[in-house]
């Protein structure tokens, strides 16, 4: 897959250095791509072909893999999103371990469906690719924090912590 025009803009080299610095921490660990992309998004407003190339080079993974992640992520990022982004892993190991039930619990608690944001703009619920913590599936990520081995009860109390703003 090629990155087409919408992603094209000039990224200043100092920003590319920062992107490289982040991506190089996860050399040879393609499962950490989601984490890298979330961190990189704070530095660059959108993903250019050069940003994707730097990520691919530093992580030593195929550029096509980076592109498909970015495409997936860009698709999600165009909608208005909440203060807390709850990302539910959509990959097979989490699915097998009951991700669907976890999603249902979160949907019920927040009164929204997958892909939606609460009316007060505090929570967005969305799917994401593997979070790289399959050994503790089913797993979610809320902003940059990951939670695993989830049950209906545990995810409920985690979300309630966020509702109370009882988080760092």
Using the rule CB under 6 A, give the single segment among 90-98, 118-126, 149-157, 160-168 that binds ligand FES: 90-98
Q: Is 86 in the site for ligand FES (CB under 6 A)?
A: no
Give the nearest distance from C-beta 20 to ligand FES in angstroms.
25
Considering only 11, 39, 48, 137, the residue that binds ligand FES (CB under 6 A) is 137
Using the rule CB under 6 A, give the single segment among 15-23, 78-86, 107-115, 132-140 that binds ligand FES: 132-140
Using the rule CB under 6 A, give the single segment among 72-80, 107-115, 127-135, 156-164 that binds ligand FES: 127-135
Nearby residues of 20 by Cβ (< 8 Å), 6 or more positions away: 54, 57, 58
Nearer to ligand FES, 49 or 89 (CB): 89
Q: How far apart are the first and last CA of the chain?
A: 39
Nearer to ligand FES, 55 or 139 (CB): 139
Is residue 69 a contact partner of residue 38, using CB atoms and an 8 Å limit? Answer: no
CA distance 60 to 81: 31
Please provide residue 152's backbone torsions phi and psi, each rounded to the nearest 5 degrees. -55, -45
**CA-based diameter of the chain, in Å?**
47
The closest of 156, 103, 95 to 129, measured between CA atoms, is: 95
Give the nearest distance from C-beta 99 to ligand FES in angstroms.
7
Interface ranges with ligand FES (CB under 6 A): 89, 91, 93-94, 130-131, 133-134, 137, 139
């Amino acid at each position: 897959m090629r990155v087409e025009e919408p992603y094209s803009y000039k990224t200043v080299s100092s920003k590319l250095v920062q992107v490289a610095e982040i991506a190089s921490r996860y050399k040879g660990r393609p499962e950490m791509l989601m984490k890298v992309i979330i961190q990189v998004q704070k530095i660059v407003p959108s993903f250019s072909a050069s940003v994707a190339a730097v990520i691919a080079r530093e992580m030593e993974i195929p550029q096509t893999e980076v592109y498909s992640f970015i495409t997936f992520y860009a698709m999600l990022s165009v909608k208005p999103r909440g203060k807390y982004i709850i990302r539910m892993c959509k990959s097979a190991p989490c699915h097998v371990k009951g991700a669907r039930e976890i999603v249902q619990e979160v949907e019920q608690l927040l009164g929204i469906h997958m892909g939606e944001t609460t009316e007060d703009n505090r929570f967005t619920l969305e799917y994401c690719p593997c979070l790289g913590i399959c050994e503790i599936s089913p797993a979610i990520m809320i902003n940059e924090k990951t939670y695993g081995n989830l049950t209906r009860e545990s995810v409920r109390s985690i979300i309630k912590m966020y509702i109370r703003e009882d988080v760092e």
